[in-house]
Amino acid sequence: MRHKSKTSDKFFHYKNFVEKQTNQQIKISRFDHGGEYKYDELNDFCQKEDIKRGFTTACTPQENGVSEHKNRFLINVVLTMLSYVKLPKVFWGEALLTTNYL
């Protein structure tokens, strides 16, 4: 995203995508305390759709265990991949995209 003001639109698209893929309704969503998640438009949408909003404590990424676990996993695989094929770190981005795809 180029501007944080697009966060609401991205969340709307994400909600539609997830619900179509899983045939399940989003019941709760957890956000950090970034200002982009506190727009009235997003608040009203979540209220209308009965989505509970949870906020993590500021400066505590460990509260989001799933994301932290996935990030750590991706980093470990990327480092292993680069080391195994003896590629320089300049290929970090491509290795990360490949790892995420796999």
Residue 86 has which token pair? 């003896």
Instruction: Kindly give the confidence (pLDDT) of every residue in the chain, 102 residues in length, as a single tens digit, with 9 standing for 90 and above.
Output: 677 777 888 889 999 999 999 999 999 888 777 666 767 788 888 889 999 988 877 777 666 677 778 888 999 999 999 999 998 889 989 999 998 888
Contacts of 60 (CB under 8 A, 6+ apart): none
Q: Give residue limits of the domains in the chain.
A: 4-58, 65-101
Sign, CA dihedral 7-9-62-98, equals negative
CA dihedral (33, 71, 6, 36) in degrees, to 10, reads: 10
